Amino acid sequence: MIVYDLACHKGHRFEAWFKDSAAYDRQEKKKQLSCAVCGSSRVHKAPMAPRIGSGKGKDSVEEPVPAQASYANDPEMKKAAAVMKELAELRRHVEKNADYVGGKFADEARKMHYGEKERRNIFGEASNKEAQELSEEGIEFARIPWLPRHDS
C-alpha cells in the first residue's frame, strides 16, 4: 500500500491510499480520482513530507511523518472536513443497515410502497426523473450526497 497527498485545482488537500503507484497512475489516467472536499476530478499529487527510515533494518516499520495541510486553520475547510466525516459515517451506517439495490432503487421503493414487496431498508441509485416521480407518488425517500471512496 502507498499513501499520496493529493490536491485539486482549487487547492484542497487530502490523502488517499493506493495498492501501488501503478494503481494511482491508472486511476489518474482514467479520471477516477476526485477531490475529497469539493468533488473536482482535476486532482494531482501534492508535495508530501518524506518518510524517514529508522535504520533498524529492512523489516522495520517506518513511521510516517505528519504533513500539515495548507488549510488546517481555515474555518470553512474545518467545517467541510466535519461534514465529510459525517457523510462517511452516514455511508457506513447505510451500507451496514440497508440492502443495496443499485439502479433498481425506484422500482424497489415503489413495490414496497404499494405493498407488492415487504418493506426493508434499501439504498441505490435513481435518476432525477425517477426521484421526481417517486416524490409525486408520495413515496418517502432521502437523497444522500454520496462521496466517492478514496481507498483502492
Segment 102-134, tens digit of pLDDT? 999 999 999 999 999 999 999 999 998 999 999
pLDDT digits (tens, 9 = 90+) for 61-112: 444 444 444 455 667 777 777 888 888 888 889 999 999 999 999 999 999 9
Please answer whether residues 72 and 31 qualify as being in contact, where contact means their C-beta atoms are separated by less than 8 angstroms.
no
Please answer whether residues 17 and 2 qualify as being in contact, where contact means their C-beta atoms are separated by less than 8 angstroms.
yes
The DSSP secondary-structure symbol of 60 reads S
Please answer whether residues 127 and 107 qualify as being in contact, where contact means their C-beta atoms are separated by less than 8 angstroms.
no
What is the model's pLDDT at position 68? 45
Entry pTM: 0.50
